[in-house]
Every structure is written in C-alpha cells, then in structure tokens.
Amino acid sequence: MSDWDIIIQEWPRFANGFLNSVVLFVASTIGAFVLGGLMVNGLRSSRSIVRRAFHFYVDGLRMLPFLIFVYLLYYGLPSFGIKLDAWTAGLLGLVIYHSAYVAEILRGSWDQLPNGQSESAQACGFYGIKMFRRIILPQLILNTAPILGNQLIYMLKDTAFLMIITVQELTYAASSVQSMYFVPLQPFIIAIALYWAVSLLIEGLVALVHRTAKERGFGQT
C-alpha cells in the first residue's frame, strides 16, 4: 500500500479533524468578536480605574503565548478544583485569548473616529449599547476589515495547538496518521492544503467586506 493509499484509507479521520477545526474556528470567532466588542467599551471607559484594569487584562493576554495559555486552562485549572474537558478548554482558550486582540484592534479604530460623532449620534436619539451597535461597531468592522481578517487566520492556525490537550482537530488527525503508519510527509500536506483552503475563503470574504467599506467611504484606500 502506497503512502497516498493510506491517506485515502484514513480520509474519514481527516474529515472529522477538519470538521472539528472548522466548528472550533467558527464558534471561537463568534465568541471572540462578541467578547472583544464588549471589552472595547471598557478600554475606552471614562473611569480611569476601569480603563486601566481592561488595558492590563488585554495586554497580559496579548503577551502570553497561546500554547501556554491553553495548556494552563486544561492542565493547570484542575489544581484549583476546576476541570474542563479538552473541547471546552480549547474553545474557551480561543475565545478569551483572541478577544483581547479583537478588542485592541477595535479600540485603535475607534480612536480614529471623529470626536463629535458620539455627540451627533446622541442628538439623533442613540445612546449606550444602541449607539455602539448601530453607529460605532459597523464603522469599526468596516475600517479594520483587513486587520480583523488577518486575526481570523491567526485564530484558525491556533486551533492546531489544541492537539496538545488532545482535541481531535485537523493537526491531531494528521499526527495520528503519521504515527500509526510512519508516513512523514503526506498527512501534513493534506492538513496544509485544508488550512490553505479555509484561509483563502477568509481572505475572499475579507476582500468583499473591504471593497464594500471603500465604496462607502470607510477603510484604507
């Protein structure tokens, strides 16, 4: 049996790993954007102590390697009586870790908006969460589409680190086939091709959003 015959034989394993990676990526993207969107308000709070606390939290996460962070969630928390299954720890790690990057990206974009925009929105009856959701957030996303797209690709690639806590994602599947059949190259070629496919899809969607932003006068020209 050739190496590629082994790959074909083990294709269900790759398909399952790929599906798990995609589900993790989609779920963590939604979670990271929701949490990041909430945290950006804390980063811009008028209260100094709140603003500093959020900056400390965001900077602390951004300075911590994701591999160490997810390792601590899965293997470290049981020392404090908190035990998470691998899937929960992996998803939670992706959401918490990347929400810090999303929040910082949105904060930087918000700082570039005209100073009088909030006052104008309030004059039109928009306040608090309603103003942020309807007026501010759409502009932040359109203005930062390429940067957020790059962060999405990082998030996709970070799913590969979850194999260290036994999450059966795509890299785990490739590593399993490699170790079972001693096939050093082909399993990872398949994994790379699948990661590329999703990354290209992300780039296509980001390009569409960026083009829409430019047509509406947002984003970089």
Which pLDDT band holds residue 111 (cuts at 50, 70, 90)?
confident
Is the pLDDT at 78 greater than 50? The verdict is: yes
Which pLDDT band holds residue 39 (cuts at 50, 70, 90)?
very high
- Looking at residue 218, its pLDDT comes to 60
- Looking at residue 208, its pLDDT comes to 86
More confident residue, 205 or 116: 205
Mean pLDDT of 16-25: 97
Number of other residues whose CB lies within 10 A of the CB of residue 80: 7
- Looking at residue 141, its pLDDT comes to 84
Is the pLDDT at 221 greater than 50? The verdict is: no
Question: Residue 44 carries which DSSP code?
Answer: T
- Looking at residue 118, its pLDDT comes to 64
For residue 179, the SS3 value is helix
- Mean residue pLDDT across the chain: 89
Over residues 174-207, the pLDDT tens digits come to 999 999 999 889 999 999 999 999 999 999 998 8
- Looking at residue 136, its pLDDT comes to 80
- Looking at residue 178, its pLDDT comes to 93
Q: Residue 55: exposed, middle, or buried by beta-carbon count in 10 A (0-12, 13-18, 19+)?
A: middle
Which pLDDT band holds residue 87 (cuts at 50, 70, 90)?
very high
Mean pLDDT of 131-139: 77
Of 126, 120, 92, 99, the C-alpha closest to 40 is 99
List all residues 6 or more positions away from 49 whose beta carbon is below 8 Å from its beta carbon: none
More confident residue, 130 or 112: 112
